[in-house]
Amino acid sequence: MVRKILKPNEWEDYGYSEDEWWTLTKGKRWRLRHPEKMKAAVKSWVSRNKEYVSTRHRKYELKNKYGMSEEQYDVLLLSQDNRCAICNTDTPTGKWRVFAVDHCHTTGNVRGLLCNECNRGMGLLRDNAELLRRAADYLDHHAVKTKAERKKK
């Protein structure tokens, strides 16, 4: 094998010993030498394969974040009649147009599937039931006040 060295001890720049460096494939060595070209190539490939990347990422997130498969997600969605567990909408919103997996941040247990708005609302109120109740009371109080003001006019 002919070893072409562009500069002495190049492998040290990448954290390899000489023997480790030459056990890498030619392609791997090229990728290490040209990270900017690799980044551009990956970005280009991802932009041409958005649907594939999105599907793979979704499967990965379901499995690694929530410990569930797509089939388990589908069963949970069917058990909720294909609707958000809080507001009952059947039209998921957000970037991915799917229902978010709601889970307890302490235990990691999945609670249900929510639309983007309900999921964010709970998250912004720190999944705190007392804060959610107080927010509901606040809305009720001001709804009564508004109705009374309308009657006066």
Please write the tens of the pLDDT for every residue from 133-145: 999 999 998 887 6
Q: What is the pLDDT of residue 150?
A: 67
Q: What is the pLDDT of residue 43?
A: 96
Mean pLDDT of 112-122: 94
Please tell me whether the overall predicted TM-score, pTM, comes out greater than 0.75 for this model: no
Which domains does the chain possess? 12-48 (no CATH), 50-152 (3.40.1800.10)
Q: What is the pLDDT of residue 25?
A: 94
Whole-number percent of the chain with pLDDT over 90: 72
Mean pLDDT of 48-64: 93
Mean pLDDT of 32-53: 95
Q: What is the pLDDT of residue 8?
A: 76
Mean pLDDT of 37-60: 94
Q: Higher confidence at residue 120 or residue 150?
A: 120
Residues 76-84: contacts with CB within 8 Å, 24+ apart?
76/110, 76/112, 76/113, 77/113, 80/112, 80/113, 84/113, 84/114, 84/115, 84/118
Whole-angstrom Cα distance, residue 45 to residue 116? Answer: 29
Q: What is the pLDDT of residue 6?
A: 61
Give 3-65 as a DSSP string.
---SSTTHHHHTT--HHHHHHS-HHHHHHHH-HHHHHHHHHHHHHHTHHHHHHHHHHHHHHHH
